[in-house]
Amino acid sequence: MNLLHVSVPFTLALLGWALFVPAVLLSVRAVQRHGFLPEGAQQNAWLAGLVCVAFLWTLQVKTGDGIAFGMLGTALYVLLFGRERAVLGLTAALALHTFLADGSWLNLGLNGVLFGVVPALVASALQRALERWLPKNVFVFIIGNGMFVTLAATAVTSLALLGLSMSVAAAPSAALHLSEYVGISLMMAWGEAVVSGMIFSSLVIFRPVVVLTYREDKYLPRR
């Protein structure tokens, strides 16, 4: 996470908090209205997922220009638990990661927008679009969400992170390699989509109770 230890301009950090705090409060309100996680398996999966995501963010490859690349895991988390619960879970994961990595708490708002709000909005919007326009069967649900939505949401998040990281944290020479960095980000998004798609399909088939966005009566109705 390139913005965890860098010196971000105060106005930019303040803007991040201004966007991040309302998103978290709206998520808390929505969860209180609809209920959080009624079953123990869902609670365990939510907690285990945020710990895994926080650990995943520590696995990165850093270039000489200060740009780091790694898997995000955020889109899959959104697909499993929905937008509001994912925003809260990713916020907890980010706080845990910042604490363990001794990162900058001033940058938490900006990181929260990039690693929580952006993937949650993109993934949930694409998921609703697929639900509206494509046939409602379990195959379309698994492939469309596990592959397409994960790829698109991860690519958007990665490119947003790349652009902001290059503007505030990278060396001036990093601009010379912009096309290469964009290519790396997209290739890693594709790899993450493949892995997430396998995990997502396995959970839908063998443990559908932890996939809160899946409804058996809609996607696998009884004849």
Q: Are 200 and 150 spatial neighbours (Cβ–Cβ below 8 Å)?
A: yes
**pLDDT tens per residue, range 20-60:** 999 999 999 998 887 787 778 899 999 999 999 999 998 88
If you average pLDDT over residues 116-135, what whole number do you get?
93
pLDDT of residue 222: 66
- Residue matched to tokens 């493949």: 194
> pLDDT averaged over the chain?
88
The residues spanned by each domain of the chain are 10-216
Cβ-in-10-Å burial (0-12, 13-18, 19+) of 34 comes to: exposed
The continuous run of DSSP H or E covering 221 comes out as: none
Cα 82 to Cα 212: distance, rounded to the nearest angstrom? 7
**pLDDT tens per residue, range 71-110:** 899 999 999 999 999 999 999 999 999 998 888 899 999 9
Q: What is the pTM of this model?
A: 0.91
pLDDT of residue 191: 92
In the chain, % of residues over pLDDT 70: 93
Cβ-in-10-Å burial (0-12, 13-18, 19+) of 145 comes to: buried
Residue 60 sits at φ, ψ, to 5 deg, of: -140, 155
171 against 204, higher pLDDT: 204
- Checking if the pLDDT of 2 tops 90, the result is no
Q: Tell me the CATH architecture of domain 10-216.
A: Orthogonal Bundle (1.10)
If you average pLDDT over residues 206-212, what whole number do you get?
91
pLDDT of residue 223: 58
pLDDT of residue 169: 65
88 against 170, higher pLDDT: 88
